[in-house]
Structure 1
């Protein structure tokens, strides 16, 4: 049987003539941080102090010794970042130039000093650019010339921290006769409900094993299949059937049963190698049929059409070797807790570790996987073309067992960029990636993983017959609103699938205090500006606030609160409108779930893992059942959205109220929403607040859900000065938790408890709440220690007279 030795210990990093202890997996930055030779790039403006690290060559060394009775020993690297030369006892084993691939070298009988030398990513990119010629790029860094995580070079939410190192595990594999080289399980479901697995197996043999009889055995759900590998071949196909297989469903649509698929390779002496994964039985397609509205874009899983409630995922740390399986589980569990059912892995990052997809399999989170191309024209010449094909083949095979994976996507915004960002004249006929997205990648997916759909890009209308970002066809990215308009403009169109849209806000106050120690915080203070990477980011934040509120001048606390309110409202406005227009619109993917460092950004969870108000708003607007009031050209519409599997009979109470809470008019509408449907009703004329009224608003309530409509911006509404009582109630048996109970005496709009102001580890279980006079809100807070009412009041914010 094959033996494996992990090479995690005994590595050193060469630095200034000395050897520093090194961790593998890891990177140069983590090792220099551990040795206290560089400051934390996340703190203050230290990012600039460590820029030199990415511009130098680095070398890792260890003593490699092994003694095995097996015929063959391979040195295996699961991830090298990025351009490396590997030597053993002074002899070159090979070179690499791709972060997204694994590598294997025969070291049978060889020992000595093992050295992995990394060139500067900048130097490698420059060498490739000299070969291929210049290509346009939306950022001033050369990431399109090297197969490396593009966002290492900075983004409009991330720092420029250009890494190098062995970022995934390193090991020795000792084997004899033959080993399992590649397994492709094609998982399908027959019309009669039988689960089918077609296992396509490839082996590698030693010289002595070349003529031996090999047998491959597979087992799933108690079913066994057996096939012989031909004497003169390396491939076999095993077919298994599971009658009545339980189907894997996205969360909210059913359960996520997973089956162990095991494969054993044998010869006459016994087992030589094994392979195990968990699989799930389900069907998936992307319905791109033409209809009266244009070209659709709807996920269909097990025959059920789905409105996708999605978030975009970026690398959870700019130093990705620090992201552990536990961290993946925490962040993805948070996504599921916000009623998310789809996670798009964005194309400027990485193919994530298997641990990411394992959690998605368990939680029912559908995964949309971008190939790593983003916001640039990518040369198609060598040496890049061969690397792109090799990495695509490696990762399609690695990830295809995961039932959560529902879509392969060719790139992020490059087809759109070619058409709209003045690339075409600059390219003057040079290659720019189209051959990857419309040729190479779909061929690889069709060959290796025909059970899943592929799309050429996001956004993409399906062909050059339509603009790549046409709202009527395929996927759409909505960025004009954040960049130039009020968030109400999300309601101006109904795209078929909104794959990116979002609004910025700063991180939690405790995150800012940790990242900017000692700074006198202001929107334009030095550290705040350094941790704002978007072009005119603060200007857009201020304009977004100013459309609804008076800018708060030098009151940073209020500015911080209002920017977070506007972020939550903006994203909610888009999602509520688009969900209300199902099935024409079939999904929204918010930019973005997470951050890779502490920064003002579009994220719902900040760089320290704290939940912004947007997170809680996502939980509300992505719930199976949603009430929303939609101002439309023909009048005010009540939309009752039911994405659950059960009929929803709702008694919707509509109340037109005065600013002081006095009741002006009311009615109750009996609404029946069938499963997976939307009911749209015109609000009765007597309930609609007068146009441009500063003293009336509308409230809709049903089954604990609430929607509100104010006919004017907040700065024009006659809010009473908010008055509310606060009391604290300990939670029995949970000493670190307390209920903050707020009782409103007046209208209190968008009440928010910023729990981290009570202590850096404190968190609250809800976000923005609008209370009517006499109503009570119970907010559970954990991790705050002993607090009193006065402290809690300092952490409570609401919209008031402005």
Structure 2
């Protein structure tokens, strides 16, 4: 890249050679106070102190508590570098992300101050740079001190946790959540470097992609920064089409429109392919030299949100390319408390897990971050839809300065940054704040003070409309679409269902027929190997110190026990408790998903809370903090399959008195034709009644097939079940007439044969009796071992093969005995 004036930009990363030290007298212990340690950039204080051996791992045992001083300490990062070669009219210091309250000095001169983790900043440092030995320092003041000062100045506002997270534009969950640790970070968390340029540069490029009839259109909005008032040319190219426009001297903006005839459309996964087209925008000077360039891959697709009132209330249905999409979603939280540890490879693995569970949408929750370029690029590539919350969660947020200005700048930057991504289909104003204002006793303590309404219902919708009208905005999750209707009314818009976890039993999901469920979930502990890595408890128990510390939900252990008591046998020890709580989590979410999907048409989406964890913790996640799949993941894969067969109660007279139906849901693109056999059996496998139902189901449709009283009414509820099958076990649905705790289970009898193969072992289990929710936990023998299936119910005489992958052979006897091989009736 040329360094001649006007010939092109020069970018120099400043990621090497940094040191970090605590500002003396600010909370740090003696071994850290004032001591300079090597710093990794991008990174944060916690990871640098950990790498230097100065703190224990914050994720282990209760170390988090002993490290609270880090968030109350001021820190300084320092680096020395030489001025880039070349004759540039401008040299800018570009900070992609500073966490959070930063003062930047260069050669002892203050360059700027920042107070928003979610924005980038650019500073002209041309006149401050020496040829050699430039000293750059970034001081981070305590996030606590900043937030508490604004809280004291503006007056406190209600929130869900006793922390001041709404008084600073920072990742809220750094201050702790009901699944996360309180680890308040500081640091240069994204790229930092120098940008040398002359004449002009591309300040922003905002491509708005639409499809009209068979044609795709790209309206490219360009803004430039200038170092010279000369005429400029902007050229855009995509799919063989080129457009060019002149920006006269004194002007800083231009728009170009490109039309592509009949482009291939970008589709969500499961609906079609994900073709993308390279869009290139270049900026040229008067002599034709290239001054700057910008590249993205875009996709042609339309997205529309249908909220037209109907007889049931008002729907919430996403249409992509005018096809209604039933959302099979999961909520996404930051995958690590320390974002620099989340690599593209790690995200790709997490996306593999989402796709493996038949997920088609990720909702990026509003207490975390605007996700990375890698996250969005992977979503584009794989056809995973994304709902991005603006970053407000579970609190009344002040709208006074400096927050009003910061929020407007942050939102505008992120809307522009993400406009090119076809996977982004919905912006949401906040998480639970409108609901909180209505229902969580906020109004009296607020006493008329601002709480965020102006953001969600005025500022953010205006910015989305101005900057990117190609995708919808929804003011909150949950929200009914109208301030006159309760924000969490299931008949309107989006709904969160949390009474099931907090106060009720999970069959209550069946009392709801919502239009769209944006949050619901149930807890369970992480994998055994994850617990053993993170906790030093001896013995490990559900209420041992480490387990208790890594259970952040209010009364979480008691709620887990309430669920066990309602459904499952009494656990005899920790191994039983671990298996049964994981099983109950899977059962609860599967019941909810299958019920909501069975009402496809009225309900058009479910977003399970949650896919992932950020550390080892008992939580609602399907994938734990070490990346291991919990049994919930396997249940979700089944419940979110394109073709779902489920047995559902369909009137008030269930409880063994009839009122059952088989519901078939086809979310695939092809018709589903099959014969469905429904059999009422004893636990010993003896048939009591049988019927065959014919299934002829179009794509993207559902059908309800009522069952006769002969099938739906058992002779003995505690000893019978219903089995519905559509050709194979993947198309099988079960209905037990009694809770597991009351069922007359026979002692399990089975034959297990272990056969090695390259990369692992196959475990073939043949049932001599019924085996309820048979699961193998190979991580108890090898922390890195994985199994392909879980929660398999076998009737007498049936067999299943489990594929266990591990680097080293596992002991066959241990692999086929408790506590590795489990079923409810063991």
**Common fold by TM > 0.5:** yes
- Check the 8 A contact 2:537/2:546 in 1, yes or no: no
In structure 2, C-alpha distance between the alignment counterparts of 1:19 and 1:65, rounded to whole Å: 21
Tell me the residue number matched to 1:730. 756
User: CA distance change for structure 1 residues 675 and 519 in 2, over 3 Å: closer, same or farther?
Assistant: same
Q: How does 1:457-536 map to 2 (within 5 A)?
A: 457-517=476-536, 519-536=538-555
Q: Tell whether 2:737 aligns with 1:711.
A: yes
Q: Tell whether 2:272 aligns with 1:250.
A: no
In structure 2, C-alpha distance between the alignment counterparts of 1:525 and 1:480, rounded to whole Å: 27
Tell me the residue number matched to 1:642. 666
TM-score relative to the length of structure 2:
0.95
Q: Tell whether 2:194 aligns with 1:194.
A: no
Tell me the residue number matched to 1:562. 580
- Check the 8 A contact 1:748/1:771 in 2, yes or no: yes
Equivalent of 1:447, from 466, 471, 488?
466
- Check the 8 A contact 1:312/1:592 in 2, yes or no: yes
Tell me the residue number matched to 2:720. 696
Tell me the residue number matched to 2:5. none
Tell me the residue number matched to 1:4. 11
In structure 2, C-alpha distance between the alignment counterparts of 1:650 and 1:423, rounded to whole Å: 54
Tell me the residue number matched to 2:149. 127
SS in 1 for 2:694: strand
In structure 1, C-alpha distance between the alignment counterparts of 2:104 and 2:810, rounded to whole Å: 57
Q: How does 1:109-508 map to 2 (within 5 A)?
A: 109-111=127-129, 112-191=134-213, 193-206=214-227, 209-210=228-229, 212-267=230-285, 268-508=287-527
Structure 1 position 65, deviation (Å): 2.2
Structure 1 position 138, deviation (Å): 1.0
SS in 2 for 1:714: coil
Equivalent of 2:746, from 713, 716, 720?
720
Structure 1 position 199, deviation (Å): 0.1
Unaligned runs of 5+ in 1: none
Equivalent of 1:578, from 593, 596, 614?
596
In structure 2, C-alpha distance between the alignment counterparts of 1:185 and 1:776, rounded to whole Å: 55
Tell me the residue number matched to 1:104. 122
Equivalent of 1:743, from 766, 771, 782?
766
Between 117-126 and 632-641, the greater mean CA deviation after superposition = 632-641
Q: Tell whether 2:21 aligns with 1:14.
A: yes
TM-score relative to the length of structure 1:
0.98
Tell me the residue number matched to 2:48. 31
Structure 1 position 689, deviation (Å): 3.7
Between 129-138 and 590-599, the greater mean CA deviation after superposition = 129-138
Q: Tell whether 2:85 aligns with 1:71.
A: no
Q: How does 1:594-605 map to 2 (within 5 A)?
A: 594-605=612-623
Tell me the residue number matched to 2:682. 658
Runs of 4 or more above 4 Å deviation: none
In structure 1, C-alpha distance between the alignment counterparts of 2:733 and 2:807, rounded to whole Å: 31
Structure 1 position 692, deviation (Å): 6.9
Tell me the residue number matched to 1:685. 709
SS in 1 for 2:741: helix
Structure 1 position 64, deviation (Å): 3.4
Tell me the residue number matched to 1:676. 700
- Check the 8 A contact 1:344/1:367 in 2, yes or no: yes
In structure 2, C-alpha distance between the alignment counterparts of 1:692 and 1:230, rounded to whole Å: 85
Between 605-614 and 688-697, the greater mean CA deviation after superposition = 688-697
Equivalent of 1:95, from 113, 119, 123?
113
Q: Tell whether 2:78 aligns with 1:61.
A: yes
- Check the 8 A contact 1:178/1:204 in 2, yes or no: yes
**Deviation digits for residues 167-213 of structure 1, max 9, x if unmatched?**
0000110100000001110100011x11110000000000xx21x12
In structure 2, C-alpha distance between the alignment counterparts of 1:432 and 1:620, rounded to whole Å: 41
Tell me the residue number matched to 2:607. 589
SS in 2 for 1:800: coil
Between 268-277 and 34-43, the greater mean CA deviation after superposition = 268-277
SS in 2 for 1:694: helix
Structure 1 position 632, deviation (Å): 2.8
In structure 1, C-alpha distance between the alignment counterparts of 2:706 and 2:790, rounded to whole Å: 29
Tell me the residue number matched to 2:630. 612
In structure 1, C-alpha distance between the alignment counterparts of 2:300 and 2:791, rounded to whole Å: 40
- Check the 8 A contact 2:379/2:385 in 1, yes or no: yes
Q: Tell whether 2:813 aligns with 1:790.
A: yes
SS in 2 for 1:393: helix
In structure 1, C-alpha distance between the alignment counterparts of 2:223 and 2:716, rounded to whole Å: 70
SS in 1 for 2:718: coil
Between 542-551 and 599-608, the greater mean CA deviation after superposition = 542-551
In structure 1, C-alpha distance between the alignment counterparts of 2:59 and 2:621, rounded to whole Å: 17
In structure 2, C-alpha distance between the alignment counterparts of 1:333 and 1:499, rounded to whole Å: 22
In structure 2, C-alpha distance between the alignment counterparts of 1:683 and 1:468, rounded to whole Å: 37
In structure 1, C-alpha distance between the alignment counterparts of 2:549 and 2:710, rounded to whole Å: 51
Equivalent of 2:795, from 749, 752, 772?
772
SS in 1 for 2:146: helix
Structure 1 position 60, deviation (Å): 0.3
- Check the 8 A contact 1:689/1:696 in 2, yes or no: no
- Check the 8 A contact 1:763/1:784 in 2, yes or no: no
- Check the 8 A contact 1:565/1:613 in 2, yes or no: yes
- Check the 8 A contact 2:760/2:809 in 1, yes or no: no
In structure 1, C-alpha distance between the alignment counterparts of 2:786 and 2:414, rounded to whole Å: 38
Structure 1 position 269, deviation (Å): 4.7
Give the root-mean-square deviation of aligned CA atoms: 1.1
**Deviation digits for residues 476-523 of structure 1, max 9, x if unmatched?**
000001111111110011010000000000000000000013531100
- Check the 8 A contact 1:691/1:711 in 2, yes or no: no
SS in 2 for 1:290: coil
Aligned pairs, how many?
A: 793
In structure 1, C-alpha distance between the alignment counterparts of 2:672 and 2:270, rounded to whole Å: 15
In structure 2, C-alpha distance between the alignment counterparts of 1:41 and 1:31, rounded to whole Å: 12
SS in 1 for 2:398: coil
- Check the 8 A contact 1:295/1:472 in 2, yes or no: yes
In structure 1, C-alpha distance between the alignment counterparts of 2:123 and 2:811, rounded to whole Å: 63
In structure 2, C-alpha distance between the alignment counterparts of 1:692 and 1:197, rounded to whole Å: 65
SS in 1 for 2:98: coil
In structure 1, C-alpha distance between the alignment counterparts of 2:811 and 2:53, rounded to whole Å: 40
Between 32-41 and 64-73, the greater mean CA deviation after superposition = 64-73
- Check the 8 A contact 2:761/2:809 in 1, yes or no: no
In structure 1, C-alpha distance between the alignment counterparts of 2:203 and 2:152, rounded to whole Å: 36
In structure 1, C-alpha distance between the alignment counterparts of 2:475 and 2:767, rounded to whole Å: 52
- Check the 8 A contact 1:76/1:103 in 2, yes or no: yes
In structure 2, C-alpha distance between the alignment counterparts of 1:154 and 1:785, rounded to whole Å: 38
